[in-house]
Amino acid sequence: MKTVSYFLCLVLTVLLCQCVTPINPDVRSLPPALVVDGLVTDQPGKNRVSMSFTADYTSTSLNYVAEKATVFVTNNTNQRTTFSETSPGFYQPDSSWRGSIGQSYTLHIRLSDGREYQSKPELLKPVAPIDSIYIEFNQQLKLGSDAYDKGFDVYLDLKDPATPDDNYRWSWVHYEPLVYCDVTRVQSCPGCAVYQEYGLTCCTRCWDIVRYQNLINITSDNAINGNRISRRPILRAPFNSYQPYYVEIEQQSLTKEAYTYLSAVKDMIQNVGGLFDAAPATLTGNISSVSQSDELVLGYFGASSMIIRPLYIDRSKAPVEPDIILAPPPQPPPTTCAKCAENLGRTSKAPRWWKF
C-alpha cells in the first residue's frame, strides 16, 4: 500500500510540474521610437522640452531619456532660441525667455547620433482671463470603508470670447513646505539589527513640488461659444494638515490641432482596459523625422498662452479634523541637517507668490 501511495504522489508531482511550464509569447520587437513632450508659453520659466525613447514590451521595460541633444525653437520671423539640457532628457531656455502671442513656433531637434526632427508650426493663441476661483470643503465615505475622503474642491469660472475655436487646458502646481529633507536610520542598540528612523531637518527652506499629472483637463467652446464656463473642476486639495495649502492654477490656450491630439490621448487613457475596448492605436503628433519620413515619432509640441493664478486654501476652518500624516521623529542630538535638493520635484527657491 505504501508503494502504491508513493507511486501516486510521484505521478501527481510530475503532472503538476508539467502544468507550470512558462509561456513565452511571441512579442514583436520594435525599434526605439522618439517620444517628445514640448511646450512654449508666454510665461517665463514655463517653457520646456522632454525627450525619451520607447523600449520593448518586457517586464523590465522603461523609457530611456534622450540626452545630449541639440534643441531649439524658431518663430515665424526665424528668430532662434536654444533650449539647454538642465537635467537628463529635459531641456529649457533661459529662465527669463518667453514666447509671444500671435507668433508661431517650430521645434527643431538634433540627437547625439545626428538624426534630426522638426515639428509643424504652432500658433501661440491668447487665452481668456479667469473670472473667479472658489473652494468647497467636501467629505464622503470611501468605497468599502468607514473612513472619509476629506478634501477641498477647487473650481473656476470664465467668460469665453465670441470667437470660434477657443480651446482650454487646466493644470496646477502645488508647493509643500518641508520640515525634514531626508531620513536617517540609527541602530536602536549596539550590535543589534533593529533600527529607528529619524527625520533630518532641512538646512534651508525647502519645498516639495507636486505637479498635475495623468489626467487631461481640457474643453472646447464648440458648444458654448461666447458663453460662460462655470464650476470647472480644477483640483482636490487633501485635508491632511491645518497648514495653508498653496497652489498655482494654470489656464492655457490650445490650438485646434493640440486640442484634437489631447482629446485622443484622453480617450485612450479612459477607454483602454475593458474586455470590449478597442485596442489602443499608435497616436502620432506633430513631430516628424527630417531625413526619414516613415520613422515613428511620438508626442506633441505645443504653444500656449498661460494665465497663472496663485491660491491659498485656509484649511484651519474645516468642520472636521484632518487626516494627519505622521512624520519620523527628529534626530536626537547631536543633530545634522540635510540639504534641499534642486530638481523637478524639490526646490529651495520660494514660490513666486509665497507669503509665509
In a domain, 234, yes or no: yes
Instruction: Flag whether 4 is in a domain.
Output: no
302 phi/psi in degrees, rounded to 5:
-120, 165
d(CA 260, CA 283): 11
pLDDT exceeds 80 at position 59: no
Dist CA 175 CA 222 (whole Å): 34
User: The domain containing residue 115 runs over which residues?
Assistant: 31-347
Could you give the CA distance from residue 74 to residue 41 in angstroms, rounded to a whole number?
A: 13
Q: How far is CA 121 from the centre of its chain?
A: 24
| Look-up of cell digits 513631430 | 287
Residue 245 lies in a domain: yes
* C-beta neighbour count of 276 within 10 angstroms: 4
Average pLDDT over residues 66-89: 97
Q: What is the pLDDT of residues 203-221, one digit of tens each?
A: 999 999 999 877 899 999 9
Residue 18 in any domain: the answer is no
For the chain, the average pLDDT equals: 88
Q: Please give the Cα distance from 355 to 200 (Å, whole number).
A: 25
pLDDT at 177: 96
Mean pLDDT of 24-43: 80
Query: What is the number of domains present in the chain?
Result: 1
Contact residues for 109 (Cβ-Cβ < 8 A; gap 6+): 34, 36, 49, 51, 69, 70, 71, 116, 117, 118, 287
Q: How many CB atoms lie within 10 A of CB 258?
A: 25
In whole angstroms, what is the distance from residue 23 CA to residue 194 CA? 42
Whether 301 contacts 284, CB under 8 Å: no
pLDDT at position 58 over 60 = no
Check if the beta carbon of residue 254 is closer than 8 Å to that of residue 263: no
Burial class of residue 1 in the structure, from the number of CB atoms within 10 Å of its CB (0-12 exposed, 13-18 middle, 19+ buried): exposed
pLDDT on residue 284: 85
Type of residue at 104? S
The sign of the dihedral angle between the CA atoms of 281, 171, 352, 340 is: negative
Contact 47, 38 (CB under 8 A): no
* pTM, to two decimals: 0.84
Listed residue (282, 268, 255, 280) closest to 121, CA to CA: 255
For residue 47, being part of any structural domain is answered with yes
Q: What is the C-alpha separation between 300 and 35, in angstroms, rounded?
A: 8
Per the listing, cell 470611501 goes with: 142
Alpha helices in 1-52 (DSSP H): 2-19
Q: How many CB atoms are closer than 10 A to CB 109?
A: 26
| Interval 299-324: pLDDT, tens | 999 999 999 999 999 999 999 999 88
Is the predicted pLDDT of residue 254 greater than 60, yes or no? yes
Higher pLDDT, 192 or 170: 170
Say whether pLDDT at 11 is over 60: no
